[in-house]
């Protein structure tokens, strides 16, 4: 073996190792690239032709990069409602224009499902290609035809709308700490002493509006809701442990408090079974004129769950009242 052969053998190993490192670096660099498929490096030996009986062949090694495009990619959660993913076989069909798509128009296939709406209302990917799909008839029925691409049309969402569905019920699963110390206000409430908790004159809702007044709750739970016009609101459940074992006071208020016209109170139990609230004696009336009884219950047993709470379903731009009166009976 000559000096040249020996150097070539070493150089081929360095080149193969460099190619393998390049493949690994490419996988790392594209870990967040939508639709990217992993690549692998495969090594193979290089064998040169044998010369005379006294000659020795140095050989070498080579690296080949294999793109695993036929494997299922991993699905990730995103914050965009227009991001799509395909589980199993299939491709998204795209084209370079939204209208006037004919039999001669190019069809491009991709597994990358990150789409956004362009200025014309079409769903497009990062390359500007328009996503295509089968149209629906007047009855909303879609008739797919996988054997032909000519029936596909560009998906335009500019005219798509939906009816607003207000929040009508809230389900809460929560555990309250049974070892929570009873506050001075709750203790005074049992004897009607000064500073006692009172849902009308010294409530947790008053504390929410002004921490200098009212009674501070032991726990608060905030739940987002939607009104009949699609607006976002937040209701908060304030909880205060009472002197009665396995029993809590509860108030439902809106956040910010300026969304509330009035606020009532309720009590919750924490024994071994879910509490079943009695019908409220005076259901609140929303600003829009709808009446809804509010039920709420929670538990502080390590294994108990709070019963569903029903929030106001029609919280529009006008403030409304929430809450109910009367302790639930277990």
Do 231 and 281 sit in the same domain of this protein?
Answer: yes
Please give the pLDDT value at position 329: 37
Do 147 and 224 sit in the same domain of this protein?
Answer: no
Do 220 and 236 sit in the same domain of this protein?
Answer: yes
Report if residue 327 sits inside a domain.
no
Do 58 and 87 sit in the same domain of this protein?
Answer: no
Mean pLDDT of the chain: 75
Strongest mean pLDDT among 21-30, 186-195, 269-278 = 21-30
Do 95 and 145 sit in the same domain of this protein?
Answer: yes
Do 125 and 152 sit in the same domain of this protein?
Answer: yes
Do 104 and 189 sit in the same domain of this protein?
Answer: no
Report if residue 142 sits inside a domain.
yes
Is pLDDT above 80 for 46? Answer: no
3-state SS class at 9: helix
Please give the pLDDT value at position 48: 66
67, 82, 110 — which closes off a domain? Answer: 67
The boundaries of the domain holding residue 252 are 184-322
Do 231 and 256 sit in the same domain of this protein?
Answer: yes
Please give the pLDDT value at position 97: 84
Is pLDDT above 70 for 316? Answer: no
Which residues, 6+ apart, have CB-to-CB distance to 118 below 8 Å? 124, 128
Segment 108-120 shows an average pLDDT of: 89
Report if residue 23 sits inside a domain.
yes
Closest by Cα among 258, 269, 257 to 295: 269
Please give the pLDDT value at position 50: 60
Report if residue 292 sits inside a domain.
yes
Report if residue 166 sits inside a domain.
no
- pLDDT confidence tier of residue 102, bands split at 50, 70 and 90: confident
CB half-sphere exposure, 254, CA atoms < 13 A: 26
Better pLDDT: 119 or 294: 119
107, 130, 161 — which closes off a domain? Answer: 161
Do 149 and 49 sit in the same domain of this protein?
Answer: no
The CA distance from 177 to 172, in Å, is 16
- pLDDT tens for 265-291 read 444 444 433 333 333 333 333 333 333
Do 188 and 316 sit in the same domain of this protein?
Answer: yes
Do 120 and 26 sit in the same domain of this protein?
Answer: no
Residue with tokens 């947790």: 204
Residue 134 and residue 272 in contact, taking contact as beta carbons nearer than 8 Å: no
Out of 98-107, 194-203, 233-242, 295-304, least confident range: 295-304
Report if residue 208 sits inside a domain.
yes
48, 67, 86 — which closes off a domain? Answer: 67
Do 207 and 310 sit in the same domain of this protein?
Answer: yes
User: What's the structural domain count of the chain?
Assistant: 3
């Amino acid at each position: 073996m000559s000096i040249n052969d020996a150097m070539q053998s070493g150089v081929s190993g360095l080149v193969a190792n460099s190619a393998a490192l390049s493949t690994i670096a490419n996988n790392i660099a594209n870990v967040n690239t939508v639709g990217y498929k992993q690549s692998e490096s495969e090594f193979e030996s290089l064998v040169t032709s044998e010369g005379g009986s006294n000659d020795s062949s140095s050989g070498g090694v080579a690296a080949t990069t294999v793109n695993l495009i036929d494997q299922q990619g991993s699905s990730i959660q995103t914050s965009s409602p227009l991001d799509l993913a395909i589980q199993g076989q299939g491709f998204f069909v795209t084209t370079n224009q939204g209208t006037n798509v004919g039999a001669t128009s190019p069809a491009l296939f991709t597994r990358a499902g990150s789409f956004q709406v362009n200025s014309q209302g079409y769903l497009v990917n990062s390359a500007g290609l328009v996503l295509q799909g089968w149209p629906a008839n007047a009855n909303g029925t879609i008739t797919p035809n996988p054997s032909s691409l000519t029936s596909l049309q560009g998906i335009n969402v500019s005219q798509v709308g939906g009816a607003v569905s207000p929040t009508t019920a809230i389900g809460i699963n929560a555990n309250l700490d049974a070892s929570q110390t009873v506050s001075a206000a709750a203790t005074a409430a049992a004897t009607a002493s000064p500073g006692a908790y009172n849902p009308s004159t010294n409530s947790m809702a008053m504390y929410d509006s002004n921490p200098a007044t009212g009674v501070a709750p032991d726990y608060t739970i905030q739940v987002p809701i939607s009104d009949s016009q699609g607006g976002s609101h937040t209701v908060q459940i304030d909880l205060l442990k009472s002197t009665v074992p396995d029993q809590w006071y509860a108030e439902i208020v809106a956040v910010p408090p300026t969304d509330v016209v009035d606020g009532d109170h309720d009590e919750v139990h924490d024994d071994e079974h879910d509490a079943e609230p009695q019908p409220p004696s005076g259901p609140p009336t929303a600003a829009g004129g709808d009446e809804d009884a509010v039920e709420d219950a929670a538990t502080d047993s390590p294994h108990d769950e709070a019963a569903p709470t029903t929030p106001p379903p029609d919280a529009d731009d006008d403030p409304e009242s929430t809450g109910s009166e009367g302790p639930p009976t277990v």
